[in-house]
Copies of this chain bind each other. A is one copy, B any other.
Amino acid sequence: MQNLATRMMINVLGIPAILLLTHRGGIAFTLFFTVIAFVSQVELYLLMRRKSYHPLLLAASLAGIVWMFTAYFFPDKLFVLLILLAAIVFLSGLFREVQGATVDIAESIFGFIYLPLMLSTLILLRFGHTEGESVLMMLFAAIWICDSLAYVFGKWLGQKKIAPTISPGKTVVGCIAGVVGALLTVSIFYVLKWSPDSMSFLQVLLFGLLCGTFGQAGDFVESVFKRDTGVKDSSTLLLGHGGMLDRFDSFFIGAPVIFLYMSYLTWIAS
């Protein structure tokens, strides 16, 4: 119940805040997700330290902040920034212990790609599309409804575990309920004309399917990385290392997949 109570409190405060920020857009939206990326990245590096790796915690997390702001201010400079950061991180190998340099740099890059780079797609979706606001509203709604239904149905009706070695709490019924929830959510968006005008009903449905499946896949991916570093009990994480990672895990995969989908739709429309 501790878990559920914390979840609900975060949702009651967090969801309206994110919706408002998404509506307003601008630097406040960017700043919000920059904080999420930064805290998540630090959390991930702290988890890696438990496994005796020494990622460049501060430097790589600061690079994450630079990345997120560049996505907002200079999106067309992201590729050049990527090359710059890559050159710097490899050169950093010259100033470290040779033993373990490769894996520490690899873990640093991993955290950067998994968190700020993946989350920056939210900024690119919001400001890179004429209908960025409604794309994000639909994305957030679909993923949250999916998560909540998966959680509730999994607790109440779920028996059969879907992947007990990765995420013991997840059930088959919960996952299906999540996908159905995402499909219903986007359908309601379409009926109410909240979905982007440029998208057909079929395209909206596929959007929901992608949110439902890859959002949940994002949960599992995060669980894999967390368990690999030896952190098993998710409930203790909420108040400690990994809290932000746990809260936004669906987006680390869900957001880039929707970014790819919207890029594809833009491409076929042009």
In-complex Cβ contact of A259 among B83, B94, B166, B228 (8 A): B83
Return A101 CB to nearest CB of chain B, in Å: 5
- A103 proximal to B (CB < 8 A): yes
* Contact present for B80 and A263 (CB under 8 Å): yes
B residues within 8 A CB of A117? 82-83, 86
B residues within 8 A CB of A166? 94, 98
* Contact present for B228 and A90 (CB under 8 Å): no
B residues within 8 A CB of A257? 87
Show 20 residue pairs from A and B whose CB-CB distance is below 8 angstroms, ordered by the A residue: A51-B102, A86-B113, A86-B118, A87-B253, A87-B256, A87-B260, A90-B114, A90-B118, A90-B221, A90-B252, A91-B217, A91-B253, A93-B221, A93-B224, A94-B166, A94-B217, A94-B221, A102-B229, A105-B110, A106-B106
Q: Residues 240-257 of chain A: 1 if any B CB is under 8 Å from the residue's CB, otherwise 0?
A: 000000000000110011
* Contact present for A224 and B98 (CB under 8 Å): yes
Cβ-closest 4 pairs across A and B: A106-B110, A106-B106, A93-B224, A102-B228
* Contact present for A109 and B98 (CB under 8 Å): no
* Contact present for A99 and B221 (CB under 8 Å): no
* Contact present for A86 and B221 (CB under 8 Å): no
Q: Which residues of A contact B (CB under 8 A)?
A: 48, 51, 53, 78-80, 82-84, 86-87, 90-91, 93-94, 96, 98-103, 105-107, 109-110, 113-114, 117-118, 121, 163, 165-166, 214, 217, 220-221, 224-225, 227-229, 252-253, 256-257, 259-260, 263
* Contact present for A225 and B114 (CB under 8 Å): no
Return A26 CB to nearest CB of chain B, in Å: 23
Given A91-B221, A93-B224, A252-B90, also A113-B102 (CB < 8 A): no
* Contact present for A101 and B260 (CB under 8 Å): no
User: Chain B residue with minimal CB distance to A90?
Assistant: B221
- Distance between Cα atoms of A220 and B228 in the complex (Å): 32
B residues within 8 A CB of A113? 86, 109
User: Chain B residue with minimal CB distance to A53?
Assistant: B103
In-complex Cβ contact of A94 among B80, B86, B94, B224 (8 A): B224
* Contact present for A101 and B256 (CB under 8 Å): no
B residues within 8 A CB of A93? 221, 224-225
In-complex Cβ contact of A83 among B87, B102, B217, B256 (8 A): B256
B residues within 8 A CB of A228? 98-103
- Distance between Cα atoms of A96 and B225 in the complex (Å): 11
